Structure 1
Amino acid sequence: MSRNRRRTLWVFAATALILVLSAGLIVFSAYLVKLDREIRERFAGVRWALPAQVYAAPLELYAGLGLAPADLVHELGRLGYREDPHLASTGTYLPSRTQIDIHVRPFRFWDGEQPAFKLAVRFSGNRIDSLQRLDSGEPADIVRLDPMLIGSIYPRHGEDRVLVRLAEVPPLLPAGLIAVEDRHFYEHAGVSLRAILRATLANLRAGRVVQGGSTITQQLVKNFFLTSRQSWTRKLNEALMAVLLERHYDKDEILEAYLNEVHLGQDGNRAIHGFGLGAQFYFNKPLSELQPHEIALLVGVVKGPSYYNPRRNPQRALERRNLVLAVFHEEGLIDDQTFAHATAQPLGVDAGRAGGIERYPAFVELVRRQLRGQYRDEDLTDEGLRIFTTLNPRVQETLERHIVGTLPELERARKMKAGTLEAAGVVTSVDGGEVLALVGGRDVRFPGFNRALDAQRPIGSLVKPFVYLTALERSGEFNLYTILPDEPVDLRLPHGKLWSPANYDRQLHGPQPLYRALVQSLNLPTVHLGLRVGAEQVVRTLRRAGYSGDVQPLPSLFLGALGMAPLDVAQIYATLAAGGFQAPLTAIREVQTRDGEPLSRYPVQLQQTLPDGPVYLVDWALRRVVTEGTGRGVYATLPADIAVAGKTGTTDDYRDSWFAGFSGDRVAVIWVGRDDNQPTGLSGASGALPVWARLMRDLRVQSFEPIVPESIEMLLIDMQTGLRADAGCAEVIEVPFVRGSAPVDWAPCAYEHEGPIDPLQWLREIFG
């Protein structure tokens, strides 16, 4: 081959190589431009989809509040406050026999900012005597503790986080994180060749991967932009994007982003991201209050959230934490005394709680549903809304404890297999219809089927008060002492089936006063009464009480042949408890933006939908249900001086056990049954009632003592005749009547029966 030909070939090859390299450079440059644009677009401005944060109602302290010192200590522990004799930081308290000093955390409430301050709470017995600010010595009228963060509303299989600012975190955290994960963070340009070489040598010596060479910037890129799939392409992208990220953003911005993005664990479907939520998830307190040993644990978990999970692998996590503390000590971040103290501490993980939405999943689901009509799902999962709810943690804890504790007792008594029974419960306030507690099943942390909202079960005799109320509204025809027949009924239903109801005990009891038929929950008198007033009118009464479901106006309705969830039952019984005033049950007080600006408020919507006089009569009868009727077992648990009212409910073949009732301040509904709808052998009195009674006892409810409406008069009635009575009658009962509906005739036993002498009548009696 000639020299010219060889030269031509070399020129051609060089040209081709240059063209290929140029094309490659163009493609690579275009790819870099694409990566650069992706980084700037995704990393600028709002960088995260922020789930809505859901808060419980705050505990309000004031003089005269019935609260024992031990109860306040318990509440402080639930909020993550810790005992400290010096009250050195927020979130601490110092207890004594008659006083508890608290360093109250700052919090931005819906009506303004409350700064941190020190407070003395003084007690007189089991009641708060006074409040005093320790910094100024001034008395305090009312103080709210920071509310518990009870959950987040995030996408299914999504991420959850609580944003933090670098300037607000404990200085030990970023310094310690850099010392452990990337000690040359402030020197490299996104990729550390020194770290890569060191990791490569360590891995070659070990014969396996024992060390990574990724910088904090690379880890952020991997978490924020890429998948966890291991490949050379992904590693190359990671390195390129890390360098580009460092070109556009300073080190502190990158570090702050990493603090909020790093994955720290898994909570069911929810991924725990960032140190802000990590502090809540593992320690039940704000990041700002973490101690060195707690910060070291979180930093240690970064290396492997599953491998070093402190709840599942406590020994492994403890060793990792102490190794991180040793690094802190070697780097001069903590002194000898702090190091020795920190390594001697237990893990301190809040073992009994999973944090966030796992805490009260049934209640958070109710919040989500009530918000759905006003907000899009994206608003709830992306915008960082702050949702203040009505949940009372003390009431919720009490409801959970008695459902979880009583079901095994019932199973053992009935020789059932453990786990056979299920239950649901709701507690609301009488004033305003606020949902204070809600349990959707015996596994109170499981965010699955929510029986309190979705289990449409026949309510049985819980419907009877509304049948009787429908009649008592017709005061010209019915009163509490109207005599009802207790006789068999045979009805041909529209579909042709013959309906022949019977009393619970399969017995006939003879004519019964109306109130007595309700107190003893007799079926036949109730059916006779329902037929007289009409099923359509009973449905109207239920609607006015707050029922919004679909039900056919059939005679079987009179005995509870309609399905309702416990929350629906609580709605209609809350209207009875409030004297006929209906307030739609709500779980939400206020919704704010992430910056604290108000979006929605949920004021009490109260309207009188049922007349106070007839409601008073029904409530009077329900009070007697628990003193002498089917619910009298309540007072085997409740103190005799606490008046309550309620009703048992039992469905066919003992499939459902219900109790619904109220005190002066609380409405509570309990359901017990089986998910497979098989019989349980439990009546309302033997299944749901014990849970209800224990709940109301431990809530220390107020006595139910309603004001007598002006339309009501109280009269003595002779129990034998149902006529008016006085001291001359041996067996009397004081009964309320709507004015104008009481009997006008006197019983033969009454002194008034003798009255003035009628001469003509006297002569007729003498001479026949």
Structure 2
Amino acid sequence: MTKKVVSKQGAKKAPSKAKPRKKSSAKKVSPGWKRKVWSISWKLGVIAIAAVSIYSIYLDQIIARKFEGQKWHLPAQVFSRSMALYPGAAVSHSQLISELKLLGYRKVSNPRQVGEFSASRTRVDLWRRPFLHPQGDQAEQRVMISFDSQGVDSVVRTEDHRQLAVFHLEPVLLDRIITGDGEDRLFVKAAKMPPAIIEALILVEDRSFYEHHGVNPLAILRALMVNISAGRTVQGGSTLTQQLAKNFFLSSKRSLVRKAREALMALIIDFRYGKDEILEAYLNEVYMGQDKARGVHGMGLASQFYFGRPIAELTLSQQAFLVAVIKGPSYYNPWRYPERVQERRDLVLRLLMEGEKISVAQYKAAAESPLGLRKSDRPVHQKLPAFFAVVKHELARRFGDTLLKQSGIKVYTTLDPMAQEAAEKSVKKVMARLGKNIKQLQVGMVLTDKASAGIAAMVGDKSPGYKGYNRAVEIRRPIGSLIKPFVYGTALMQGDKYNLATPLKDRPITLKNGQGKTWSPQNVTRKFSGEVPLLTGLKKSMNVPTVNLGMAIGVSSVATTLDKAGWREPISEYPSMLLGAVNGSPLMVAQVYQTIADHGRYRRLSSITAVLDKDNNPLPVSNIPQSQAMDPATNFLVQYAMTQVVQSGTATRLGKAFPGKVLAGKTGTSNDSRDSWFAGFDERNVAAIWVGRDDNGKTGLYGSNGAMAVYQNFLENRPPISLRRTPVNGVVNAHFDRTTGKAMEAGCANTIALPALAASYHPAINCGEPLSWWQKLTGG
């Protein structure tokens, strides 16, 4: 049987029966969402930990730089002179008491602790504070200071009744020169803080300070619940460390980010540093109030700001107040809201009592005591624009321009706070009176300390606190007759030709210069006397005799004398210079008159005695230049003549105002009464005063009723101490004929007794008759 062959292409498949697909009994299982969340979370956690770690390292570096470097830029502290007390010191009983009150000492019946004193009519029993002096630390000390009519008689240490050669009071802190962020502080170590302040601070602000690690979660939770319950923020949960972190590094803006950063920084601070160091930083950083444009930071400065005394001397009540005010210095301003302050202070005291830090009796006594605030009219820092301008200039000249940028320097100046106060009072009073009739009248005034050649006080404007043009230093006006003591002093150096009795011509004189111009000087009275004694020419400030004398000795010789006395600006050597055609300032006049007051010794005036760096080491400085400008014997004669100016010359009004006091002075007036001048001194201070107008207009004032009126009022505010006219080698009490000025023997008729140079005093006649050889041999 033949089989049929079918090709593959043509073959047809037989239909097959398709098998149905089995359905899956369950969906395929994917990785669980929990596993995914966990995977993402731990990765994010690692990233977060790394980020926080890196950020913590960054914050740690910031914190380390602050804590281990310079925590604050401490302002330069500027101090007054330190009052020196020693036998013979020109300080009166009343002046010492005024100084002690200025320093914040308390007057009591019997001193029992540092910062107290008692006083009788001639004695002061003082318990002095310890303080930093340029010559080294001064320990607390109790002394008895006795006075006589001349000043200090003795200073005796109470402990062993030993008489001290010299005893210093602490200087007055005048101001702090702020060059940075406007923050003001006075650093005090934690060890020097009263224990009650630290105990109260911890009780009120952070009870678990010594237990937590920078952050207190329980305190935060407790504060949160209280605030939610109250519906407002009434309690904070920040630790002292958190507050410090905020104050040091963060703004006061409230946000969760800032709060987290604050907490992280607090943890780092607590980990790196000890509790005592954190506490000290907080006590010196905390904001305590506002002194006009200055922020008051730290407990040390707050003590001075509110109470005017060091923190170590505060009462328990005052210490509690400082802790109380931390919560809100504006809200608890004691001068504006005394009731709020008392309530808050009493709360702090009660917490101290409940914490068994003080007794019930202490609590009651403190709660019943007044705060004892500083008087609002007593400034925390002195407004001394004229003086501080000189200080800054001298600092730059002697120590460099960058000194004030250094932190923590201490500048000790020559300023006498009591002299400054008296000067400002006199300027205000007299200028107000003179200004009623003379518009635009101004003043410049400089006082020096006769013993030290330091600038004791300075006023540069009729409004002493005005910060602007400083007329005490910057004006250049003709000094008028203030030059005359140097004309007469130059002549008296020639003892063989001139003495105080030498007749001087007082007749009309006309001088001609090289261009043919003539000058005919006149006396103020427009009268001529023919001849006058040299002393009269000076004390009556007569122009014509002065010109005749000056021309005889030479204008250049007078210019040389003035230069040696300290005049450091060019002098035009014309005859008119003899009557004061020399432009100067009160400071320049004070310099040359200081030389006369200081026995002819030139010492450059200064405003700074010492500068200490932040570690209290003195900065090296060159010595102040000095030289003998005028022979002491000749200078003695000039001083004597100036006392006669006050006794019976152009300054007689001054002498009558202070009978029994020996004062020296010289009035001066420029042409047309445009400038009124006075220069003079007592045993303690040299004064130079100018009164005039900035536009150089006429004032109608003479030296005697303008500038001298300021000085007279100054002495009313600060009673003078008589000049001690101690004998000088080379000076004798001589006798001269009143008419001829020739040397005479004592007892002759028509003679006058005057001091004279011993080397040139040779009386050749005995009451009109020549001395015999025997009289010459035996001296009579």
1:737 Cα deviation (Å)?
5.7
**Aligned residue type for 2:691:** V
2-structure distance, mates of 1:221, 1:363: 39
1-structure distance, mates of 2:560, 2:166: 43
2-structure distance, mates of 1:687, 1:367: 28
1:573 Cα deviation (Å)?
0.4
Aligned pair in 2 of structure 1 residues 728, 734: CA closer, same or farther (>3 Å)? closer
1-structure distance, mates of 2:237, 2:254: 14
Other-structure match for 2:18: none
1:438 Cα deviation (Å)?
3.5
Other-structure match for 2:768: 752
Aligned pair in 2 of structure 1 residues 727, 696: CA closer, same or farther (>3 Å)? same
Other-structure match for 1:570: 590
Encode CA deviations 1:442-466: one digit per residue, 9 max, x unaligned. Answer: 5555665544334444433222322
1-structure distance, mates of 2:349, 2:75: 32
**Aligned residue type for 1:147:** P
1:91 Cα deviation (Å)?
1.4
Task: Tell me whether 424-433 or 441-450 shows the greater mean CA deviation.
Answer: 441-450
Encode CA deviations 1:604-662: one digit per residue, 9 max, x unaligned. Answer: 7542123445534433332222222211111121223x322211122345443321112
Aligned pair in 2 of structure 1 residues 381, 233: CA closer, same or farther (>3 Å)? same
2-structure distance, mates of 1:456, 1:180: 61
Other-structure match for 1:657: 676
Kept after mapping to 2: 8 A contact 1:311/1:351: no
Other-structure match for 1:295: 319
1-structure distance, mates of 2:241, 2:509: 82
1:39 Cα deviation (Å)?
0.7
Other-structure match for 1:339: 363
Kept after mapping to 1: 8 A contact 2:745/2:763: no
Q: Does 1:109 align with 2:129?
A: no
Kept after mapping to 1: 8 A contact 2:764/2:771: no
1:190 Cα deviation (Å)?
2.8
Kept after mapping to 2: 8 A contact 1:643/1:703: yes
2-structure distance, mates of 1:707, 1:186: 71
1:254 Cα deviation (Å)?
0.8
2-structure distance, mates of 1:135, 1:474: 55
Aligned pair in 2 of structure 1 residues 547, 221: CA closer, same or farther (>3 Å)? farther
1-structure distance, mates of 2:163, 2:731: 45
Other-structure match for 1:671: 690
Kept after mapping to 2: 8 A contact 1:589/1:603: no
Match for 1:483 among 496, 499, 504? Answer: 504
1-structure distance, mates of 2:330, 2:522: 60
2-structure distance, mates of 1:39, 1:598: 31
Q: Does 1:544 align with 2:564?
A: yes
Aligned pair in 2 of structure 1 residues 347, 21: CA closer, same or farther (>3 Å)? same
Other-structure match for 2:200: 176
Aligned pairs for 1:608-627 within 5 A? 608-612=628-632, 614-627=634-647
Kept after mapping to 2: 8 A contact 1:157/1:269: no
Aligned pair in 2 of structure 1 residues 422, 211: CA closer, same or farther (>3 Å)? farther
| Higher Rg of the two aligned structures | 2
Q: Does 1:223 align with 2:247?
A: yes
Aligned pairs for 1:195-274 within 5 A? 195-197=219-221, 212-228=236-252, 234-267=258-291, 270-274=294-298
Other-structure match for 2:61: 37
If the length of structure 1 is used for normalisation, what is the TM-score? 0.82
Encode CA deviations 1:293-335: one digit per residue, 9 max, x unaligned. Answer: 2112322333344454445655554554445444444544433
Aligned pair in 2 of structure 1 residues 341, 182: CA closer, same or farther (>3 Å)? same
**2:194 match: secondary structure:** coil
**Aligned residue type for 1:50:** L
Match for 1:520 among 533, 540, 546? Answer: 540
Match for 2:472 among 452, 472, 490? Answer: 452
Other-structure match for 1:162: 186
**Aligned residue type for 1:243:** L
Query: Which ranges in structure 1 are unaligned for 5 or more consecutive residues?
Result: 757-768
1-structure distance, mates of 2:574, 2:229: 82
Q: Does 1:688 align with 2:699?
A: no
Encode CA deviations 1:732-756: one digit per residue, 9 max, x unaligned. Answer: 544556678789998xxx9516999
Kept after mapping to 2: 8 A contact 1:664/1:702: yes
Aligned pairs for 1:386-535 within 5 A? 386-411=410-435, 414-415=436-437, 422-444=442-464, 449-473=469-493, 480=500, 481-487=502-508, 503-505=523-525, 512-527=532-547, 530=550
**Aligned residue type for 2:508:** E
Aligned pair in 2 of structure 1 residues 468, 437: CA closer, same or farther (>3 Å)? same
2-structure distance, mates of 1:741, 1:137: 50
Other-structure match for 1:50: 74
Aligned pair in 2 of structure 1 residues 10, 482: CA closer, same or farther (>3 Å)? farther
Kept after mapping to 2: 8 A contact 1:54/1:386: yes
1:115 Cα deviation (Å)?
3.0
2-structure distance, mates of 1:274, 1:144: 28
Aligned pair in 2 of structure 1 residues 64, 704: CA closer, same or farther (>3 Å)? closer
**1:373 match: secondary structure:** helix
Query: Which ranges in structure 2 are unaligned for 5 or more consecutive residues?
Result: 1-26, 773-780
Aligned pairs for 1:361-380 within 5 A? 362-376=386-400, 378-380=402-404
1-structure distance, mates of 2:531, 2:258: 85
2-structure distance, mates of 1:104, 1:739: 48
Encode CA deviations 1:570-615: one digit per residue, 9 max, x unaligned. Answer: 1100111223211112333333444444444776754212344553
2-structure distance, mates of 1:188, 1:443: 56
Kept after mapping to 2: 8 A contact 1:153/1:368: no
**Aligned residue type for 2:481:** S
**Aligned residue type for 2:250:** L
**1:453 match: secondary structure:** coil
2-structure distance, mates of 1:563, 1:330: 73
2-structure distance, mates of 1:743, 1:526: 25
Aligned pair in 2 of structure 1 residues 525, 128: CA closer, same or farther (>3 Å)? closer
2-structure distance, mates of 1:659, 1:93: 38
**Aligned residue type for 2:278:** I
Kept after mapping to 2: 8 A contact 1:99/1:121: yes
Other-structure match for 2:778: none
2-structure distance, mates of 1:694, 1:282: 33
Kept after mapping to 1: 8 A contact 2:690/2:707: yes
**Aligned residue type for 1:546:** G
Other-structure match for 1:580: 600
Aligned pair in 2 of structure 1 residues 714, 158: CA closer, same or farther (>3 Å)? farther
Aligned pair in 2 of structure 1 residues 248, 616: CA closer, same or farther (>3 Å)? same
Q: CA RMSD in A?
A: 4.4
**1:285 match: secondary structure:** coil
Aligned pair in 2 of structure 1 residues 553, 208: CA closer, same or farther (>3 Å)? farther
Task: Tell me whether 127-136 or 434-443 shows the greater mean CA deviation.
Answer: 127-136
Other-structure match for 1:759: none
1:255 Cα deviation (Å)?
0.9
**1:219 match: secondary structure:** helix
Other-structure match for 1:282: 306
Kept after mapping to 1: 8 A contact 2:90/2:721: no
Percentage of matched positions with identical amino acids? 39
